[in-house]
Amino acid sequence: MYNGEQDIELTDVPESFLVVQQSLNDFVTINYDTALSLVSQPQLTESEILHYKSKVLDIIRNNPPLASLPKYLRDGREDYLWYSDFYDEISKDVYHQYRTFIKPIVTITASNYTTELTKIALPYFRELVDLVSLERLCIKYEKLIPKPKVEVIQEKTPIEETTIVKETKTTAKTKFTKRSYQPKLSKEQYALLADCIEAIKLFRSKIKVSELKKLLSGKLPEPLQVTNQKTLVYLLDQLSEHKYIKTQWVSVADGNKDFISFRTEGNKERYGDNKHYIGMQQLLNCRNRNKRELIFGLENIDNLIDDIKKSNLE
C-alpha cells in the first residue's frame, strides 16, 4: 500500500520559471562571493548580522512582493522564488515579463557581473539578487554565533518565578500566522463546494460552509482529516486552474498545516498517536500520481467546476 513516503518526485516548476531561477542563482553566486570577500572578520558579530538583516528589511519594505521569499530560502527550497508568493503579488505585466524571460547565454563572472546585470530588464531582479545574497550571508554567520549558556537555577526567588511566568505567558500568546488561499467564491459557490465535498466524503467529518471559508481564508483553527489525498489535490488543483484560489495553493497548505492523514490502521502504525500533517512533497507526489492513476470523485469535481461557472453567468 502506498504510504505517501515512496517514489517521491520533484515538483513540476514550469520551464520558463526554472530559467528565471537559474539566472537568479548565477548572479547571486557572484554577488554572495563578493560579499563574503568583504567580510574582514572570520566571524560576524551579532550587531553586524543585525545590520545585514536591517538591509533585508529595507529591500522588502520597498519591494513588498519579495516579503515571503526569505522563508522559503531558509527552508532550503531549491526553487524558492516559485514557492514564495512573489509571482502572486506582482502585476500581470511583470508576471508576463518573468514568464517570457530569456536567460543570458554568457557565463556570469565577477568581471562581467555588473554589465550583464544591467541587461536584465526584469523588475525586482536586482533587488532579488541583493536580498538572497544578504539572507545567505546572515544564515551562514547566524550558525557560527555561540548560543548562550543556560544556567540551572536551583532555588527560585519570587522575582525570578514572576519573570518566568511572564515569559511563559508571552510565548503562549505568540501565534503562527496562516496564509490565505485567496478564494474568489460567492456564498452560493461555497455551498456548491461543500455539497461536493460531502458527496465524495473528502474529510473525516462533514464540513460546513463556515469552515470552508475559514480554511480558504487561512483562519482554520484545527487541521482537517483527509480521507483521500489524491482527490483533495485534484479538487484544489481544479479550483486553482479556474482561478477560484491562488496558483501556489500547495505552499499555503504546507505552511498552514491545514490537512492531516486519515487515521487508518496503517497510518497508526507509521505515525503512532501523533498527527501526520500532509506536507508539500506529499501533495506534489499526489499531483503526479493523478496524471497516471484513477481519481476518486473526479466526475463530482468536474461537475462542481461546471456548476460554479454556470453560477457566474446567472
Q: d(Cα 278, Cα 4) in Å, to the nearest integer?
A: 9
- Answer whether 69's CB lies under 8 Å from 80's CB: yes
> Could you tell me how far CA 12 lies from the centroid of its own chain?
15
pLDDT tens for each residue of 5-22: 333 334 467 888 999 999
Sorting pLDDT into bands at 50, 70 and 90, what band is 176? low
Res 169 pLDDT > 90? no
Give which of 232, 173, 237 is closest to 197, Cα–Cα.
232
Most confident of 146-160, 276-290, 291-305: 291-305
CB half-sphere exposure, 218, CA atoms < 13 A: 17
User: Which residues fall within 8 angstroms of residue 215, CB to CB, at 6 or more apart?
Assistant: 181, 207, 224, 258
Q: Are 251 and 77 in contact (CB under 8 A)?
A: no
Residues 178/223, Cβ–Cβ less than 8 Å: no
Tell me how long the chain is. Answer: 314
Handedness of CA 117, 122, 125, 127 (dihedral sign): positive
Least Cα distance to 68 among 254, 198, 201, 241 occurs for 254
The tally of CA atoms less than 13 A away on the side-chain side of residue 193 is 26
* Angle, helix 249-256 to helix 280-290, in steps of 10 degrees: 140
Handedness of CA 291, 294, 295, 300 (dihedral sign): positive
Residue pair 137/36 in contact (Cβ under 8 Å)? The answer is yes
> Of all residues in the chain, what percent carry a pLDDT higher than 90?
38
pLDDT in tens, 233-277: 999 999 999 999 999 899 899 889 999 886 544 445 555 556 778
- Distance CA(171)–CA(177), nearest Å, equals 14
What DSSP designation does 109 have? Answer: -
- With the C-alpha atoms ordered 18, 19, 24, 25, is the resulting torsion angle positive or negative? positive
**What is the pLDDT confidence band of residue 118, given thresholds at 50, 70 and 90?**
very high
State the DSSP code for 220: -
The secondary structure of residue 61, as a DSSP letter, is: H
- Domain extent listing, the chain: 15-142, 187-313
Residue 122 confidence (pLDDT) above 90 = yes
